[in-house]
A and B are shown apart, each in its own frame.
Chain A
Amino acid sequence: MEEQYKSDLKEIKDMMNRSSRFISLNGASGISVGVIALVGAYLAYANVFKQLGELNLKPIEITRPIFSNLLLIALMTLIIAIISAVFFTTRESKKLNQDIWDIQTKRLVINLSIPLVTGGLVCLFFLLKGYIALLTPLTLIFHGLALVNASQYTLKAIRGLGILIIILGILALFFLNYGIWFWAVGFGLLHILYGLMMQFRIKS
C-alpha cells in the first residue's frame, strides 16, 4: 500500500510538471544558437572590437560605422538565432505531437522576453552613450536572468545555464577589455555544451 501511495504522488508530480512546462526545447536548438553566437562574436570582434583598442569604463566616441556595424551584427545574430531555435523546437514539437503555440509556449516566451527586452533597451542606451565596454557583461547578465526566469516554464536545466551566464557576466565586469571573450564563452560555448548535454541525456 505504501509503495502504491508513493508511486501515486510521483505520478501526480510528474504529470503536473509535464503538463505545465514547455518540453520541446531540445539540444539541437542549444547547439545551433551557440554556433551562431560564436560567429556573431567573431564578426563583432573583427569588425568593431579589434579597432577600438583597450576598453575600459570610460565612454568612447560612437562613430556611425561603429554604431551601425555593431547593431547590424547584433540584430542579425539575434534574428538568425531565434529562427534556428524556432526551427528545431518546431521539429521536436511535431515529433512529440505537441502544438507549438500552446499555453506553455506563450508563458515561456513572455517570461523570457521581459528581462531580455529590458536588457536590450538598457544596452542600447549605453551604446548610444558610448559605454561600449559595458555591453558584453550586461547582455550576459540580462540573458542569464531571462533564462533563470523562464526556467520555471520549461526544462529545469535552463536554470543552471542561466546562473552560469550571470556569473560570467559579473566576472566580465572586472575584465572589461576581454568582454567579447566572455561573451563568446557565455553565448557560444555554454549553449553548445548545454545543448550537447541535453542531446546526450535524452538519447541515453
Chain B
Amino acid sequence: MRELLNDLDKAFENKVRMGIMSALYVNEYLDFSTLKNLLGVTDGNLASHLKALEKREYLVFKKEFLNRKPNTKYYATKTGKDAFKKHIGAIEKLLNNK
C-alpha cells in the first residue's frame, strides 16, 4: 500500500498538469493553443504548468513559425510518459485493492 502511494506522482496531482500529460500521452505533439482550448485555462495558467512539467523533464517544446506567427509544439518525453503510466497504474491498483 505504501509503495503504491509512492508511485503516485505529485507532479500530476494538479488537474491542469494531469490534463496536459493525458493529452500529450496520446498525441505525438500538441501546440499551445490546442492545449489551451482542450483544458479551458488562461495563457498564464497553462504556461506556468507547462514550465513545471518541463522542469521535471516530463515534456519538451519546439518553437516554430507558422504564417509568421510563433507556434510552440509540446512533446511528452519518455521520462514523462513513463512517470504518467506509473501514476495511472498506481491509481488503478489503489482502486482495485479496496
By a beta-carbon cutoff of 8 Å, the part of chain A in contact with chain B is 2, 5-6, 8-9, 11-13, 15-16, 18-20, 96-99, 102-103
Contact = CB atoms under 8 A, between A and B. Distances in A.
Contacts of B29: 103
Contact of B92 (A2, A9, A98, A103): A9
Interface residues of B, number: 21
20 contacts: A2-B94, A5-B94, A6-B95, A8-B18, A8-B91, A9-B92, A9-B95, A12-B88, A15-B23, A18-B23, A19-B23, A19-B26, A19-B27, A20-B26, A20-B27, A97-B37, A99-B34, A102-B34, A103-B28, A103-B30
B47 interface: no
Contacts of A13: 22
Contacts of A11: 15, 18-19, 22
B27 to A, nearest CB: 6
Interface string B10-43: 0000010011001101111110011001100000
Contacts, number: 53
Given A5-B95, A12-B18, A97-B37, 9 more contacts: A2-B95, A9-B91, A12-B88, A15-B38, A16-B23, A16-B25, A19-B38, A20-B27, A99-B33
Contacts of B28: 103
A15 B15 CA distance: 11
B30 to A, nearest CB: 7
B98 interface: yes
Q: Top 10 nearest A-B pairs by Cβ distance?
A: A19-B23, A15-B22, A20-B26, A12-B22, A16-B26, A5-B91, A15-B19, A16-B22, A97-B37, A19-B38
A79 to B, nearest CB: 28
Contacts of A8: 18, 91
A11 B87 CA distance: 14
A19 B24 CA distance: 8
Nearest to A9: B91
Contact of A19 (B18, B22, B94): B22
